[in-house]
Structure formats: structure tokens, C-alpha cells
Amino acid sequence: MKKESHYAGYSGSRLCAWMRPELRRKSRKVSSARTCRTSGFTLIELLAVIVIIAVLVALTIPSISAVMRSAKSAKCMSNLRQISVGIIGYASDHGGVYPLLWTQSAAEDPDGLNVQSWVQRVIPYMGQNTKGDRTVWVCPEAKLPVSKDSESWAYTYAVHGWIFPAYNAPSAPNYRPQLRTFSISEPGSVIMVADAPQNPDNNNIPDLAIWRPLLLFQAIPRKQLDDPIPASDCEGMGGLSFHHLHDSCNAIMADGSSRSFKRGGMKKRDYAAQIVD
């Protein structure tokens, strides 16, 4: 059988032209140029890609921001846990009595520590000294700058105004009997220390104690424990600060457990140091 040549189908002139080396090289260059032109992106395609990337970035940034705020809130809760360890340690060494909120002068300190505020009284029970770092006392999401150097007593947290006694005589008009750890009705339900609003008129430091709402200085009837409290009664100076993600406030309860409260979600039981039937 006659073997068919792979040049079959070419006319003589075409075959001769194809077999010439310079024509074959020219043909490959033309083919390569066509390939480059057809494999590139058009302006519309590039614009579409840019728009898609911009949309993805816009969707990602809020998520990253939320993750960063969650991390700061977790650090804040860690701060509060360390502070609560110091508070409970102090109470254990003092017959269940919580640290005094404040004395008019260091000389009046009944513990002989020569200090004035509850913050200074708790520091030794946290494994810190008076020249130690103050970072643990400042919430990472504090809205206003607060000094954290070793010479300051800066803080952004406050304690329950009834649980922590004021240093006053029984004859004083605002005297309240001192509460002890074992006299709190439901320690797992009442706030001990929490985020507090900063006071621009006091070097951005909040009040020492949570004293809003005023019902926290009262014994609460058990049937009223689940009554809601208006958000406006819980905020402002002397109240709580809901500055974390989703308008939340971090707190440590009197039993050492941690809680996060939403704005508008407070109930009377959250403040009830004393409960009556």
C-alpha cells in the first residue's frame, strides 16, 4: 500500500512556501502575537475585578474591627478578674469585710496601710506593689486617655457602693452598716466591680463606687428581683459604662464569676446586696 505523505493536500507553491525557513518563523511570530492579544484582560474586566476586591474589603473591615473589639473586651474582663482576686483576698484577711472605699487622709486608714482608696488597699493582694504597672486597672477600650505610669492611681473600674463601706461613724447621716462577704444574699447575682464611666473633670477617672441606681443601697423584696431598670438609671457618673461591643458592660459578681451586661438589660437583682422576703 502506498504510504500517504503528511504534506498531502498542499499545492506545489504552498508546499514550497511552507518549507522555506523564514516563512515558517514569520508564521510562528504572527501566531504568538495573536495568542498574546487574545489572552489579555480588557478594561471592563479589570474594572470588574477592582470593584469585587473593593466590596470584599468593605465587608471584611467591620469583621476585623469586631474581632479587635472582642479581644479588648476579653482583656478588660481579665483585668477585672485580677482585681476581684485582690478584693476577695483582702476580704479573706479581714474577716469578710471588703476594703474601705475612701478615707479623708492616709493617717485615718484603719488598716495601717497609710493609703486612702480601695484601689490602693487591693494592690498588695494582686501580687503588685505601689510602684507596679497600672495597666490592669485601665480598660483597653477606655474612651479617654488615662495615665498608667507608676506614680498614678489611675483606674476605670468602680465597685458596689454598699458592699464597699464608706469610712464614717454610725452617727453620720449617710452611715450604712458594713456588709461582709457571707452577708450578701445572692453573691452570684450582685455586681462587685465593673466598668465605670470616666469623669473628664477628674483626670478621666470614674467615681470610686457605683451608686446609681440608688436602689442598690436598699434591701430588695424577692418578688421584685426580676424587675427591669431603665437604662438611664444605670448610666452616667456613679453608674455603669456600656462601652464594649454591642453596648455591653463587663462585671465581676460578688462570688468571683464574670458577667457581661447589655445596655437596657439590667434588673434589680444585679444590684441587690440584700434581699428580703
| Digit-coded pLDDT (tens) for 138-180 | 999 988 887 655 445 688 999 998 888 776 555 555 566 667 8
Q: Is residue 39 part of a domain?
A: no
Q: Domain span at residue 53?
A: 44-276
**What residues have CB less than 8 Å from 86, skipping those under 6 apart?**
122, 123, 124, 125, 126
For residue 7, being part of any structural domain is answered with no
pLDDT digits (tens, 9 = 90+) for 9-43: 545 555 445 455 555 555 555 555 555 555 677 88
Residue 177 lies in a domain: yes
Residue with cell 483582702: 90
Spell out the residues 6+ positions from residue 21 whose beta carbon is closer than 8 angstroms to its own: none
Cell 479581644 belongs to which residue?
71
Q: Which residue has the higher pLDDT, 117 or 105?
A: 117
pLDDT at 84 over 90: yes
pLDDT for 179 equals: 78
Residue 32 lies inside a defined structural domain of this protein: no
Q: Answer whether residue 37 is part of any domain.
A: no
pTM: predicted TM-score of the whole model, two decimal places: 0.74
Domain contains 11: no
The answer to whether residue 171 sits within a structural domain is yes
User: Which cell numbers in the block locate residue 86?
Assistant: 485582690
Mean pLDDT, to the nearest integer, of 55-74? 82
Give CA torsion, residues 265, 268, 273, 277, to 10 deg: -140
Task: Name, in order, each residue with C-beta under 8 angstroms of 32's C-beta and a sequence gap of 6 or more.
Answer: none
| Number of compact structural domains in the chain | 1
Distance CA 123, CA 133 (A): 10
Q: What is the mean pLDDT of the chain?
A: 80
The DSSP output letter for 101 is S
Tell me, yes or no, whether 10 lies in a domain: no
